Amino acid sequence: MPSEEIALLEQHASTAELSRLLLVYLARSSDPRQILGSVLPQLVPTFRCGRAGIVRQRGRGWAASDWIGTQGPLPETLIGEVVDAGRGKVGRRQVEGSWVAAPLDVGDAIPRVLLLGGCDPDRPPRIEEIEAVARLVGMALQIARRQQHSASRCERLAAMLRIGAQWSQTEHSSELLEAIAAAATRLLGAERASIFLWDRSRRKLVGRPALGVEGGQLEVDDSEGIVGAVLQSGRPRRWQAGDDGEAEVNRSVDRRLRFETCSLLAVPLWDPQAKEASGAAPAEWQGEARLGVFELINCRSGAFTEEDVEALEEFAAQAAAAIRSTQTREALAECRDRMTDSAAEGARVIGNHSTMVALRETARRVAETDLAVLVLGENGTGKEVLARSIHFQGPRKHQPFIAVNCAALVESLLESELFGHEKGAFTDAHQTRVGKFELASGGTLFLDEVGDLSPGGQAKLLRVLEEKIVVRVGGSTPIPIDVRVVAATNQPLAEMVRAKRFREDLFFRLNVVTLQLPPLRERGEDILALADHFLHQFAHQVGRRVPRLSEAARRQLLRYSWPGNIRELRNLIERICYLCGGDTVEASDLALSSLAGPLAMQGETPAAAPASNAGRTLADATRDFQVQHIEQAIAACEGNMTDAAGRLGLHRSNLYRKMRQLGISGAESES
């Protein structure tokens, strides 16, 4: 057999072996450079050449990207003709002296050529074989790049998931933006990153973080530079020093930051909610869907690639969702804080009397704890206001404040109201109901008029306070509760304990800290401070100018005994604001209130009463005083006989008995 045919057969066998090796290399590695590092050394003996390598276009010339053997000057004319042939143009040659070349396609737009040098001119490699090998190498590199891209994308997505979990715990936007920028620079190999959020009202892009800028925040016009172009077009932009578009790079920012931008990649940030609602293609998304721009500066490996564009777009999608979520949480938290502050403003304990100053200080210290508090005081002294003040000064202020009037709880429904019930637990239980303890979970439960609880109700309440567990009526599942209990009453609980009308163990459970609210008549000038407060409050509600109290009216307010305490004063001022049309409240205007009859009488003629009793017996005068005193107490309590009895230091049944003895109307209504 001729030597030429023998050489041809050997070359075919070597090419087949090279194909097998490429498959082996692909199975072992997805790194294109490692594959080339293994394949190129095999080309030299296979084709009996001195050197082999891959050359690629760089600028207007050619450069070797991978090479085996001495390189020397490259045959650029031959390489150019081979590239033209690969592009469908007329290619005249693929051999020049000892050089043989074939186009190499690795799946991108950069021209590449497989080049063999130092070949034997008498026995040159067959062009068909070289082209076949180039195709095999190109396919192998494309497969490796796809594998590498897939593996890199999986790693990147896994990293994004881990980072996203951390982002979800970030409460403030500024911290989140810095965390996103740090993660982007680390994962995508950039020197710096900034997230520009679009302030539509001011037509500004606000970027954070901005190193070297005071406050870490940079503002640019929303049509300025590459970030502005990306925002307006909704398309990513890539830029490298030397490319067209140098004028779009904002060098003024570089000068301010003493920094040089060599490469840049920017992609749009899409609002996930607006984007989903639009249902359109990205090019058709409206401005409402544009949240801002994500920018990377200076790729550490030289230039940003299309893979970096894809990676940053994926990263931006995760970042936009986290940013929008954090912004929503911040808005909700701000709204919650405003509502809490507004509620706390309505729960201020007003007054400069020494007893009130000391009481406020004690309440402030107690508010920071979870100690049970017992608030004592006459009706209308502001026991619930004090309880709310304690709640809003403590760590539970953002949680519920639930008030329960124990005097209104019927024995048969007490458990259902406090602890809840399951569906079908009793007649008319058509659905499951959550009790007051569950509603107050995490917050404060205010038990008003706790002294009016029945013995059975006291026992049930004590059990829950000790075990911190409730079981709904008709249910069997223990439900843990976390509430702070503040109780209040106008009754002398200590005396009730001694009289066996209130459980001693419940009394000590509630009475960890006792706060005693003084009656309004003992607070001096606080009466005027409260009156002014209510004047401003109700005038604002009515929409009128705040009226002023005349000196005569102020003196009259100070002289009155205020049996109804702050509640009575509040009602009086409310009626004045609605019914008194002038800018000044005179003493005569105080009679506009139905409760002000005693006020006007006592305030204007304090010495007339003794004169009117002249010539009368002591028994008659005493009887008249008792009638008047009882009627005033009933009027001050707005007809609530239980409250009136407590104010007079009597039991309800004893009050009715006394009224019958004195002939006071209403005694016959006792059940």
DSSP string, 377-416: --TTS-HHHHHHHHHHHSTTTTS-EEEEEGGG--GGGHHH
Check which CATH number belongs to the domain holding 322 and give it.
Answer: 3.30.450.40
pTM for this model (two decimals): 0.60
Final residue before a domain boundary, out of 518, 536, 554:
518
Q: 315 and 357 in one domain?
A: no
Q: 409 and 298 in one domain?
A: no
With a CB cutoff of 8 Å and minimum separation 6, the contacts of 554 are 528, 531
Task: Give 237-248 pLDDT, tens digit per residue.
Answer: 988 876 766 666
Say if 32 falls within a structural domain: yes
Q: What is the pLDDT of residue 580?
A: 84
Helix axes 32-46, 3-28, angle to 10 degrees: 170
Mean pLDDT for all residues in the chain = 82
Q: How confident is the model at residue 669 (pLDDT cuts 50, 70, 90)?
A: low
Q: What is the pLDDT of residue 520?
A: 94
Final residue before a domain boundary, out of 90, 115, 148:
148
Q: 421 and 288 in one domain?
A: no
> Containing domain of residue 298, as a range?
169-334
For residues 466-492, give the mean pLDDT.
Answer: 92
Q: 195 and 57 in one domain?
A: no
Say if 538 falls within a structural domain: no
Q: What is the pLDDT of residue 389?
A: 94
More confident of the two residues 258 and 134? 134
Three-state SS annotation for 216-281: HCEEEECCCHHHHHHHHHCCCEEEECCCCCHHHCCHHHHHHHCCCCCEEEEEEEECHHHHHHHCCC
Final residue before a domain boundary, out of 480, 497, 518:
518
Q: 503 and 367 in one domain?
A: yes
Q: Is 58 exposed, middle or buried (0-12, 13-18, 19+ CB in 10 A)?
A: exposed
Q: 328 and 350 in one domain?
A: no
Say if 547 falls within a structural domain: no
Q: Check if the beta carbon of residue 43 is closer than 8 Å to that of residue 29.
A: no
Residue 391 CA to its chain's centroid (Å)? 22
Amino acid letter, residue 515: L
Check which CATH number belongs to the domain holding 661 and give it.
Answer: 1.10.10
Q: Which long-range contacts (CB under 8 A, 24 or more apart) does 83-88 make?
A: 83/57, 83/111, 83/113, 86/111
Q: 281 and 407 in one domain?
A: no
Three-state SS annotation for 52-106: EEEEEEECCEEEEEEEECCCCCCCHHHHHHHHHHHCCCCCCCCEECCEEEEEECC
Say if 106 falls within a structural domain: yes
Say if 558 falls within a structural domain: no
Say if 141 falls within a structural domain: yes
Task: Give 581-592 pLDDT, tens digit per residue.
Answer: 788 998 888 864
Query: Considering its fold, how many domains does the chain have in total?
Result: 4
Q: 292 and 256 in one domain?
A: yes
Q: 387 and 281 in one domain?
A: no
The residue to which tokens 């929008």 are assigned: 324
Q: 454 and 312 in one domain?
A: no
Q: 77 and 188 in one domain?
A: no
Task: Give 33-66 pLDDT, tens digit per residue.
Answer: 887 888 888 888 888 888 888 988 877 788 888 8
- Asked whether the predicted pLDDT for residue 251 surpasses 50, the reply is yes
Three-state SS annotation for 477-531: CCEECCCEEEEEECCCHHHHHHCCCCCHHHHHHHCCEEEECCCHHHCCCHHHHHH
